[in-house]
């Protein structure tokens, strides 16, 4: 199995869900393999196979891909077996947090919670129930794998040797990358705007108390697109999954009770209790968001124009202006944008927000932009100045310009070898039994002789 394909299979296993859409044919299940006390079912393989075909477009015969998926699952179960032997544990809170992170990933991929539920024909609660054991097992596996890889270090000589051993016609091309600085101005929400929103929401509350249906007003007026179409209903959530201010009020409500107005980072809400099941609640809400006034926005833009002039006239450096004027939480690193995918300060074009990419592509290194409109993390309107610190040209990877990147390549290869050595060592003492139907697979490891 190629390392690339193994990586794709692993990512599919970690980030996909074992749930199948209702319209897909049922899988006739059987035990395919046993590793210690852990079993691998035919459905485990088929679910991953379907996910890969739908999402990854991996080429190859169905039989070979299923064999590759099985071997990756054998790796996972071997690590899970070792986690049990070493008494590695994860807490319920850790599992809950990771499960919420993955659910958000699925929701973002599909567009909304409603689309997720429609896709699988299951409620979010049912999806959580089915995900919990999978997530717990995978977190244990990740701890074991992390324990193996964190011991691996790479020396400069190993980096040079790794790069030297790459055939010249296989050295990858590094695409154009950008390093970008920003100065952000977040216009404040005026007290009058907050008051107007609260008064409007207060009128909705009065209408509901007078007999109008909460769900009807939510459909008509709520600014939470995910729940508005469902009459404001959020579905069941446990503690720690919603805004703290929202939870503090929601968990105290009785069935059918309407809350007073609640303020959170998202805006202002009124909440109605639908049902409570133990530590989980299902509520509906109406959300109205405060908005930055056009006057405040224009003022922020004007301020940035003035700051840009100071920088261009040489009266202050961009970095000094970041420290003095920027209202971005990340200004502590000099205003440098951080790539959330890699953790580095470099971005390839497709990693950038389209608006940022449009502006940056028209700048030369060292130039700053005019004020650019933006949305903050909480969805508020703001403006920023952008500075292109550096723009690389596409080139074949080399040690002088791309040492850090090549170092990561070398480290990953060494970590992969460490994992393979660990597998060969631990598998000698593990019980592994594979269904005869899969003994024709061309595995990387001789699993058949392990007992």
Task: Please tell me the pTM assigned to this model.
Answer: 0.60
Residues 33 and 142 in one domain: yes
Give the chain's residues under pLDDT 50.
1-18, 20, 22-23, 451
In order, the DSSP letters of 60-78 are S-HHHHHHHHHHHHHHHHH
Between CA 65 and CA 6 the distance in angstroms is: 10
pLDDT in tens, 98-146: 887 888 777 767 777 777 778 778 887 888 887 888 888 889 988 898 8
What's residue 320's pLDDT? 93
Residue 168 CB partners (closer than 8 Å, separation 6+): none
Residues 321 and 436 in one domain: no
pLDDT in tens, 326-370: 998 778 788 999 888 777 888 988 888 889 999 999 999 999 999
What's residue 19's pLDDT? 52
What's residue 55's pLDDT? 58
Question: Which structural domain, as residue segments, surrounds residue 444?
Answer: 3-156+406-449
Residues 43 and 147 in one domain: yes
What's residue 178's pLDDT? 93
Within-domain flag for 328: yes
> 38-42, long-range: CB within 8 Å, 24+ apart, which pairs?
38/77, 38/80, 38/81, 40/70, 40/73, 40/74, 40/77
Residues 439 and 332 in one domain: no
Within-domain flag for 104: yes
Residues 323 and 364 in one domain: yes
Residues 434 and 338 in one domain: no
Choosing from 365, 393, 421, the residue where a domain stops is 393
Within-domain flag for 312: yes
We report the CATH number of the domain holding residue 322 as 3.10.50.40
What's residue 54's pLDDT? 64
Residues 376 and 442 in one domain: no
Q: What angle do CA 53, 58, 62 make, to 5 degrees?
A: 70
Within-domain flag for 222: no
We report the CATH number of the domain holding residue 89 as 1.10.4030.10
Residues 57 and 123 in one domain: yes
Helical (H) or strand (E) element with 179: strand 177-185
Number of domains in the chain: 2
């Amino acid at each position: 199995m190629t390392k690339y394909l193994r990586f794709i299979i692993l990512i599919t296993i970690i980030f996909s869900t074992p749930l199948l859409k209702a319209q897909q044919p049922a899988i006739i299940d059987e035990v395919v393999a046993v590793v210690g006390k852990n079993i691998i079912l035919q459905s485990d393989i088929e679910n991953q196979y379907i996910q890969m075909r739908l999402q990854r477009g991996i080429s190859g015969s169905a039989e070979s891909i299923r064999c590759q998926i099985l071997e990756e699952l054998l790796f996972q179960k071997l690590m899970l077996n070792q986690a049990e032997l070493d008494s590695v544990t994860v807490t319920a809170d850790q599992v809950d947090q990771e499960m919420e992170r993955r659910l958000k990933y699925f929701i973002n991929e599909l567009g909304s919670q409603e689309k997720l539920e429609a896709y699988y024909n299951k409620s979010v609660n049912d999806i959580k129930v089915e995900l919990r054991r999978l997530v717990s097992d995978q977190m244990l596996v990740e701890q074991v794998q992390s324990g193996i890889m964190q011991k691996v270090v790479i020396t400069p000589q190993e980096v040079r040797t790794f790069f030297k051993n790459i055939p010249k016609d296989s050295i990858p091309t590094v695409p154009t990358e950008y390093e970008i600085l920003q100065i952000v101005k977040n216009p404040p929400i005026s007290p009058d705007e907050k008051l107007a929103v609260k008064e409007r929401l207060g009128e909705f509350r009065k209408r509901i108390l007078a007999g109008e249906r909460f769900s009807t007003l939510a459909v008509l007026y709520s600014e939470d697109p995910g729940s508005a179409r469902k009459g404001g209903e959020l579905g069941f959530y446990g503690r720690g999954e919603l805004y703290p201010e929202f939870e503090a009020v929601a968990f105290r409500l009785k069935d059918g009770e309407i809350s007073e107005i609640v303020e959170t980072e998202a805006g202002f809400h009124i909440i109605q209790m639908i049902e409570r099941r133990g530590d989980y609640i299902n509520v509906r809400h109406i959300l109205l968001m405060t908005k930055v006034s056009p006057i405040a926005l224009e003022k922020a833009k004007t301020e940035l124009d003035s700051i840009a002039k100071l920088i261009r006239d040489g009266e202050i450096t961009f970095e000094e202006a970041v420290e003095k004027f920027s209202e971005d939480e990340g200004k502590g690193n000099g205003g440098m944008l951080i790539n959330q995918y890699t953790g580095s300060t470099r971005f390839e074009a497709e990693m950038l927000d389209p608006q940022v990419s449009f502006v940056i592509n028209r700048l030369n290194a060292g130039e700053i932009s005019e004020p650019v409109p933006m949305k903050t993390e909480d969805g508020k309107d703001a403006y920023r100045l952008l500075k292109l610190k550096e723009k690389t040209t596409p080139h074949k990877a080399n040690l002088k310009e791309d040492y850090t990147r090549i170092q990561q390549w070398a480290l990953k290869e060494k970590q992969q070898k460490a994992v393979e050595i660990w597998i060969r060592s631990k598998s000698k003492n593990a019980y592994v039994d594979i269904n005869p139907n899969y003994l024709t697979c061309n595995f990387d490891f001789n699993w058949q002789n392990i007992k």
